[in-house]
Amino acid sequence: MCTTNCPKNRKALTRNADLTTVERELVLASWHASSFAYMPYSKFPVGAALLAENDEGETRVFTGCNVENASYGGTICAERTAILKAISEGYRKLKAIAVVCAKIPGGSPCGLCRQVIREFGGLDGIVLTVQNREGDVTRWTVDELLPDSFGPDSL
């Protein structure tokens, strides 16, 4: 799930009009995914849209929303939902992911999601955090969101 205490003020905003066609599609898909969020406790809908690639070089978009649980540890964030859907379909290379905190745009992936994004996005995977209803974003690399990280290449 997103946190409202994100480092958005440390990076320039990228206007929606300046995004690539694929990035704009991811932003729109993340908004749509947030409408399916199951969040009876927090009332905080989050959506994610992931562009992933399989071993054959084919790309596909996977979406996810946050799914809360009365046992809070059972809650899963939108980012991880989208990533797990991609992995279960054989798409293991994260190219880009857009994340929107629909109620209060401007959030950022939590630490656990950053680690999972790192696992499948490498250091150069792109993370777009939606900052407003117009679909403007802050563009990050995984390395910027999780510097000096531990990943598969660390083993």
Catalogue the active-site residues: 79
The closest of 104, 109, 100 to 76, measured between CA atoms, is 109
Bridge-based pairing of strands 126-130 and 91-101 is parallel
| Longest Cα separation, the chain | 41
Q: Quick one: three-class SS letters along 91-137?
A: EEEEEEEEEEECCCCCCEECHHHHHHHHHHHCCCCEEEEECCCCCCE
